[in-house]
Structures are given as C-alpha cells and as structure tokens.
Amino acid sequence: KGQKKKKVVKYGMGGLIILFLIAIIWFPLLFMSLVRSVVGVVNQPIDVTVTLKLGGYEPLFTMSAQQPSIVPFTAQAYEELSRKFDPDPLAMQFISQYSPEDIVTAQIEGSSGTLWRISPPSRAQMKRELYNGTANITLRFTWNFQRDLAKGGTVEYTNEKHTLDLAPNSPERLQLASLLEGTSAQSVVITKLFPKYIRAPVGPEANPVKQLQPGEEDDYLGVRLQLRRERVGTGAAGFLEWWVIELQDCQADCNLLPMVIFSDKDHGAVCVDRAGHRQVRARLLQRDLALHHVRGAAVRGPHP
C-alpha cells in the first residue's frame, strides 16, 4: 500500500510542475523579447517610390524600386562611405551609429514607370503658366518607403518631400515650356533637387541626413529632366510620352538614381520618441500572449 501524502506535499509538487511547464514555454519568448529590446531589429524598406510633380498638374515622374533594386550595403561600401566623410567628425559620428546591415541603396530607374497622360487642356494651361505666370510654380519631389510590419515596427509607410519654387521667367520654366511645345529636346537642369542620404526611423517621417548634407538643399544633387516621345500612330495624339530623370553630374549608370537609406533599429516593446518620452508598445506583448495561449493548449491537450 502506498503511503498517503500530505496535501501540502501533493499540491506543492503539482504547483512546481506547473511552474516548470510555464517556464519552459515563457523563457524562449522572454529571451527573444529581451534580445529585440536591447539589440533591435532592422526592418528595411521593401518598396521605395519617388514622385516628381509640378504645381497641381499630373505628376511628371513616378518610379518604384523593390528587391533586387534595393541593394544591401556591403562592408566595402561602408568603408568607402566612411573614407568619403572621414574629415567631418559629425558625419562620422552619424555613420558610426549604423552597421552595414542597417543601410541599403535604392537603385531607382531614371525612366518613369508610368506614361505621362496629361489632358490637352491641362497641358495648354501648364504651358501658359510656365511662360506667362506671375507667381512661383512649386516643383515637388516626394519619396515614400514601405515596410513589412510582420518584421517589426508600427508604421508601414514612411514619407517626406522636398520642394523648389520656380520663379517667373526663370530659365527652368522657359525650358520646361519648350519641352511641352516640342520645340526643344534638350534636358532641363534642376539643381538642388535630389537628397542622396535619407534616414528612415521607425516613425512616419524619412528626412534627409543633415550630418551628411550639412548645407541641406545646397548639398542635394542636381538632375536633368527630359520628356521622351515615341510615335505610335498618326496625328498630334499619336505619341506616347514619359519623363526621364538623370543625375546632373553622373559618371556612370546615368539611368539610375541611387538613394542611400539608413534604417533605425526597432527595439521592440519600448522605444523613445523624438520628444524623449518613453512609449510602451503592446504589439509584441499581445503576440507573445497569443503564442503562449496556443502552446499552453498544446501542452494541456484536448478537453476530455
């Protein structure tokens, strides 16, 4: 006959077994959460889209880059970037905060991914405004990054823009009008338009890196705009049109617009916003609790 055990011993052993099972389930989850909080996870953009728009008219240029056009930084590229900015302590301090796996280069095709389908009345109005308008016309360059939220973070889309005002009777306005008329096929040079270095934090903004472009827009790259035409029929409407952008001083691969993107790490459950306030993000905790519930059900087995 077995010896009858006291309730304290019996329930104590059962409680220890339950605690042991809970520890087995929770420890890996807790460990991974701590790793994410301390080390952080980089969630690189999966899509980079740029748009160039003149005033309120149909966008001139829209192009997207996805894999494999979003190229991870190599150790060699990181060394070259460091050598380039080595004389500048502030730039080097910024670069040192990132490792090569935190940086990508979006190789954006210079030919617009969409045809320019502006209506004839809008085209005529744009031409009149470029030639005879007495107010500035805004040239707006926009970049938009998309992330995979399954890899971390709370914001899927990150975007920002840079604007230039074209003054009345400026050479750029007159040259753009000539392109619309078809009286000129030469490229139009727009200076200080393209920011090459962009910081992509975990929030909704993606601003140019001031440490690498201390002159701000004075350090942005100039571009050449050109309107391409291809005849596909007869008459004035028998043309397909699209815009092409090239870097002004490119030496090679002039059909590409390279944008270097520095992605901040996602530190999981706790982050510090730009104002310095601590914010608690519950998404990871909810996911861990759901996983614990599923694993716990598997350990307990089906109900009798």
pLDDT(228) > 90: yes
Q: What is the rounded average pLDDT for all residues in the chain?
A: 82
Question: So where are the chain's domains?
Answer: 7-37+279-300, 45-266
pLDDT(289) > 50: no
User: Looking at residue 36, what is its pLDDT?
Assistant: 45
How far apart are alpha carbons 162 and 199 in whole angstroms? 14
In the numeric block, the tokens 């029929």 are attached to: 233
- Give the model's confidence band at 197: pLDDT under 50 very low, under 70 low, under 90 confident, else very high: very high
pLDDT(291) > 50: no
How far apart are alpha carbons 149 and 171 in whole angstroms? 45
How far apart are alpha carbons 187 and 168 in whole angstroms? 19
User: Looking at residue 295, what is its pLDDT?
Assistant: 42
- Give the model's confidence band at 290: pLDDT under 50 very low, under 70 low, under 90 confident, else very high: very low
pLDDT(293) > 50: no
Judge whether 262 and 233 are in contact, CB under 8 Å.
Answer: no
Q: Between 13 and 35, where is the model more confident?
A: 13
Judge whether 108 and 256 are in contact, CB under 8 Å.
Answer: yes
269 three-class SS: coil
pLDDT(2) > 50: yes
Selection from 50-64, 143-157, 287-301 with the highest mean pLDDT: 50-64
Judge whether 34 and 62 are in contact, CB under 8 Å.
Answer: no
User: Looking at residue 279, what is its pLDDT?
Assistant: 39
User: Looking at residue 5, what is its pLDDT?
Assistant: 59
Measured over the CA atoms of residue 39, residue 40, residue 46 and residue 47, the dihedral's sign is negative
Residue type, 159: N
Helix ranges (H only) for the chain are: 7-38, 75-84, 89-96, 120-132, 171-181, 283-300
Q: Each residue of 257-274: pLDDT tens digit?
A: 999 999 988 765 444 333
User: Looking at residue 29, what is its pLDDT?
Assistant: 62
Cross-strand partners of 50: 63, 143
User: Looking at residue 32, what is its pLDDT?
Assistant: 54
Q: What percent of the chain has pLDDT over 90?
A: 59
Helix ranges (H only) for 116-240 are: 120-132, 171-181
Q: What percent of the chain has pLDDT over 70?
A: 78
Measured over the CA atoms of residue 200, residue 205, residue 211 and residue 214, the dihedral's sign is positive
pLDDT(218) > 80: yes
Predicted TM-score (pTM) of the model is: 0.74
Q: Each residue of 44-90: pLDDT tens digit?
A: 999 999 999 999 999 999 999 998 999 999 999 999 999 999 999 99
User: Looking at residue 269, what is its pLDDT?
Assistant: 40
User: Looking at residue 259, what is its pLDDT?
Assistant: 97
Strands 197-200 and 256-263: parallel
User: Looking at residue 284, what is its pLDDT?
Assistant: 41
Q: H/E/C letters for each residue in 21-44?
A: HHHHHHHHHHHHHHHHHHCCEECC
Among the listed ranges 173-182, 258-267, 285-294, which one has the minimum average pLDDT value? 285-294
